[in-house]
Amino acid sequence: MRKKLRHFYVYAAVRVLSAIVTSVARSTAVGIGAFAGTIIYLVVPRQSRKAFDNLAIAYGGSRTRRELKRMTRRVFIALGRNLADVLRLPLIDEQNLSEVVSISGLDKFDRALSEGRGLIAITGHLGCWELIPAYFSLSGYPVSVVARQVYDSRIDSLVRSFRSAKDIELVGDSNFSGALRCLGRGRALGLLIDERASNSGVEVDFFGGRSRVTKGPVVLSMRARAPIVPLAIHRGGRGRHVIEVGDPICVSRDGDLKEGIDSYARLCSKAVEAYIRQHPTEWVWMHDKFDG
């Protein structure tokens, strides 16, 4: 009962925030989001402590406790700002897209997609990640995303409506054959790979700590012969978001299969970690990312 009540409060807060940020100028909305992030940092100590503890694992050897606390606060402020932009997704269209998002390395994305086998785009919960598929879909690319159901059905429906309104095709996170069909149709398939995987995942070093990463993108790549393209988004100058496209990872099926899958999975993890290292306070450090 307590959990249901907590979920209701979260949903109600999201709806109220959505009504506010969609009725004011974007600069004001982002400022309201930053304020909301600060409030969450202060009134939800469990999440604040989790973020601090994870930052301590990653940066404890190079940052003081005071610096780690400052980073933790900035994580929540960034999360609030990005939430404001997510809630404003219904207001973004082809005409004003360039005012909100720019991209670097699009030629790499285009070359990989032009091979005709689809494309597996890997990223993490960094920056305003929901803007990535929206940007590509509004720019005319065929986009699908692998989506896990959100813990609250009402928030899940809200997020799905945002994606569907931008013609983003949704694939369930356990629908492997559906993901393969997307690639077979030449679509760009987006996956978030930064959450700790189950025991069947591949052990990786992440910021000096132990974690596990999913094999999913690599197995899909091997089956569909589709390239893997790492990318990420972060907030740039004047509040505009910047999508950065990395060099494609071309998966080979030569040699020992298991060793190959594990090796490429670690390579995918390192690619996403590198983006997080560039903009650490824009990553969601509240994940249960580390083992132990």
Give the DSSP letter of residue 189.
Answer: E
Residues 6 or more apart whose CB falls under 8 angstroms from that of 152 comprise: 7, 10, 11
Say how far residue 172 (Cα) sits from the centre of its chain.
16
| Burial bucket for residue 256 (CB in 10 Å: 0-12, 13-18, 19+) | exposed
1 has pLDDT over 70:
no
| CA quadruple 214, 170, 159, 242: dihedral, nearest 10 | 70
Do residues 105 and 271 make contact, with C-beta atoms less than 8 angstroms apart?
Answer: no
- The overall longest dimension of the chain from CA atoms, in Å, is 57
262 has pLDDT over 70:
yes
Q: What does the pLDDT read at residue 153?
A: 81
pLDDT, tens digit (0-9, with 9 covering 90-100), for 153-183: 888 888 888 898 899 999 998 899 999 999 9
Share of the chain above pLDDT 70, in %: 99
Average pLDDT of the chain to the nearest whole number: 93
Instruction: Provide the sign of the torsion angle of the four alpha carbons 281, 78, 244, 132, taken in this order.
Output: positive
Task: Render the burial of 196-219: b for 16+ CB within 10 Å, e for the rest.
Answer: bbeeebbebebbebebbbbbbbbb
In terms of average pLDDT, the best of 8-22, 122-136, 190-204 is 122-136
pLDDT band at 189 (very low <50, low <70, confident <90, very high): very high
137 has pLDDT over 80:
yes
What's the token pair of residue 154? 């009402």
Do residues 155 and 11 make contact, with C-beta atoms less than 8 angstroms apart?
Answer: yes
The pTM of this model reads 0.94
